[in-house]
Structure 1
Amino acid sequence: MTRDRPTLSVIGGGLGAGKSTLIAGLLARPDMAKTGVVVNEFGAFGVDDLLLSAAAPRTSLALLQNGCICCRPGNDLSEVVRNMITAAETPLRRILVETSGVADLSAVIARIGADHALRALVRLDAAVAVVDATAPDDARPEHLAAADRIVLSKTDLVPASRAEEIRRNLAGMNPTAPLFDAAALPGPEELFNAGLIDSATGAVQPNRWLRATGTVHVHDKDAIRSWVIEFAPQRWTVLTEQIARMSRAAGSALLRLKGIVVDRDDPRPLAIQMVRDQIYRPVRLTPETGGGVSRIVVIARAPAAPAIEAFAARLGAAPVHHKE
């Protein structure tokens, strides 16, 4: 894994959630130098890029108009990123993509994961979901499921007790994503650097990437649930069949799967990841990774529950315990 390519992180959230404000605050920091920003606007006229340009005039900015990245045809994002990297006076360290307010973050991540030209240019890093504390129900389950990090904005506009309730709900919906308050403006090393490979050292960071412990359990909140499944070593060929079977049964209700699994036929565990139907190539880790126990996190809509719980049962995992 080379470290000379810039990292690419995606920041998503609803209209007015605070994405541009978050990015503008980050760009003012000295440790955000050598950052490029791609703004995806749904309409024909861009506003956010103008605001960011005013806040950080020396930042490399590009605008993608007339459609969301997740559903627009072609490979416009690849071309924009390529041009940004080529035109940069000094090598870029990271690139941020601000999605449109109507984009589906999970679909954007799946689309980027399938774009091999783009992945040759950058190293995929963090998916950041911005949630408006004044309208938390507007946060799409797909945003939260795909997120490596969640940022809660506008907490100063709601009572402290309400903000804390929202934090608990968000933590229950995605137990793998650290939660930050936009008012505290987390630094780039906290907010980004969420990939399997450490962006600074190139070292594998499986525990930080997965952030899952414990036996099988599930959190319930409206239409989205998260399962953490812990099980004994499996043969990789058998496990892939089981994952495929579960994925087919869950269908579009399956939003994200990530895990570190111990292969009975190889001392090197595997890091695996799916976003929707986009399957990432597994990565072999060092033999000591994982401590001999496999852990998989699944985030899905409620209709996928029977398929996921049957999947856990076939792996010999403990019965699912529903938590309040």
Structure 2
Amino acid sequence: MDIVLVTGFLGAGKTTRIVRWLERAQTGDTALIVNEVGQIGLDSILIGQADNAVQMQLLANGCLCCSSGNSPGPVIAQLADAHLRRTGRTLQRVVIEASGLARTSQLLRELAAFYPGFSNALRVVCVIDARTDLDLQAQPEAIDQLACADFILRSRGDLASAVEQQRCTAAISRINPFAVLVDDDDLAAAIEAPHVPILRFDAPQLTARASGHDVVVAIVAPRRTNAGYLIEWMENLAGACGAQLLRIKGLVELEGAPGLVCAQSVGGLISPLQPLAREVRDQAPFLVVIARQLEPQVLSSCDPEQHFSLRKAV
């Protein structure tokens, strides 16, 4: 089962784009979870107007990421069971529209607690208004949403000036250099992509710090190591940083393994190591760590054998 988490800060345009996608998509084996803060679910009403409305569950008793008893895991199980009884088919996809105040990293931890191994079938899509001035927007939830995204959809691009679009794109690349940018109304490109892109093969050339929200991007040069030590380092880093750690992603060389391996963690959740499907020539191993208020000595303290040396922190 694929799980698609659609995030985006308040007013970014998530609901509008989900409605447009529903009106065009083939959603026979898809279910939708809508999370709203408040007892009146306006978003669910709007989504219910779509011609191709799917089986939908509204959660309106607080943010999925922080409300006790409001985990999406049991809801997914209920939707899957109801779909099987009604159609005789297995549910293939669940789309979760998170509250604009939800922290993606915490929501992913909630999902992992219920659905071990879910990261292999998960993609995170973040919607952001192209007119947003990210350097002035000090909302930690918005930065968390961006840093955890696989795909970023810049909404309302037709209303943004060229300067606003360039500023938004530059800020996105500083916070999350791995995200795939998709066109304004093409949510299907993210939801229905045949696979989640592992990463672009050019190591990010980051020269500026995303000001205003204490996000630090550290580029680490790893030397050849073994899988156990790599996982231990990522676990130690997650333990040292706690909720401040947003993302780790990059390519490493493992002892006894040919080629490069993709290593990644989102919100402290470590995905299984993935060998690259094709050979990448002339690519040096690298890891990028994205965290709030990250001190360089934290990286070294988690690495007693010094396999991961800091190259740059911006």
Global fold match (TM > 0.5):
yes
Question: Is 1:127 equivalent to 2:117 in the alignment?
Answer: no
Partner of 2:109: 110
- Does the CA-based 8 Å contact 2:220-2:311 persist in structure 1? no
Question: Is 1:25 equivalent to 2:20 in the alignment?
Answer: yes
SS in 1 for 2:62: coil
- How far residue 317 of structure 1 moved from its aligned partner, in angstroms, is 4.6
Partner of 1:252: 243
Partner of 1:296: 287
Question: Is 1:173 equivalent to 2:175 in the alignment?
Answer: yes
Question: Is 1:225 equivalent to 2:227 in the alignment?
Answer: no
Partner of 1:235: 226
- How far residue 33 of structure 1 moved from its aligned partner, in angstroms, is 4.8
- How far residue 221 of structure 1 moved from its aligned partner, in angstroms, is 0.6
Higher helix share: 1
Distance 1:320 1:311, change over 3 A: farther
- How far residue 304 of structure 1 moved from its aligned partner, in angstroms, is 3.9
- Cα distance between partner residues in 2 of 1:287 and 1:15: 38
**Aligned with 1:315 (options 290, 307, 310):** 307
Partner of 2:61: 66
- How far residue 166 of structure 1 moved from its aligned partner, in angstroms, is 1.0
**Aligned with 2:74 (options 72, 76, 79):** 79
Partner of 1:285: 275
Amino acid at match of 2:42: V
Question: What TM-score do the two structures reach when normalised by structure 2?
Answer: 0.81
- Cα distance between partner residues in 2 of 1:317 and 1:86: 48
Range with bigger deviation, 293-302 or 161-170 = 293-302
SS in 2 for 1:157: coil
Partner of 2:186: 186
Let me know the Cα RMSD of the aligned residues: 3.3
- How far residue 219 of structure 1 moved from its aligned partner, in angstroms, is 4.5
- Cα distance between partner residues in 2 of 1:142 and 1:69: 15
SS in 2 for 1:175: coil
- Does the CA-based 8 Å contact 2:72-2:110 persist in structure 1? no
Q: Deviations over 1:119-144 (max 9, x none)?
A: 4xx96321111112344425721111
- Cα distance between partner residues in 2 of 1:18 and 1:305: 37
Partner of 2:164: 162
- Does the CA-based 8 Å contact 1:214-1:230 persist in structure 2? no
Q: Deviations over 1:205-235 (max 9, x none)?
A: 7xx2133533785651122233443433212
Amino acid at match of 1:106: S
Amino acid at match of 1:174: N
- How far residue 110 of structure 1 moved from its aligned partner, in angstroms, is 2.2
Partner of 1:34: 29
Unaligned runs of 5+ in 1: 1-5, 200-204
SS in 2 for 1:273: strand
Partner of 1:3: none
Question: Is 1:210 equivalent to 2:205 in the alignment?
Answer: no
Unaligned runs of 5+ in 2: none
How much identity, in percent, do the aligned residues show? 26
Distance 1:288 1:17, change over 3 A: closer
Range with bigger deviation, 10-19 or 309-318 = 309-318
Give the count of matched residue pairs.
301
- Cα distance between partner residues in 1 of 2:191 and 2:52: 22
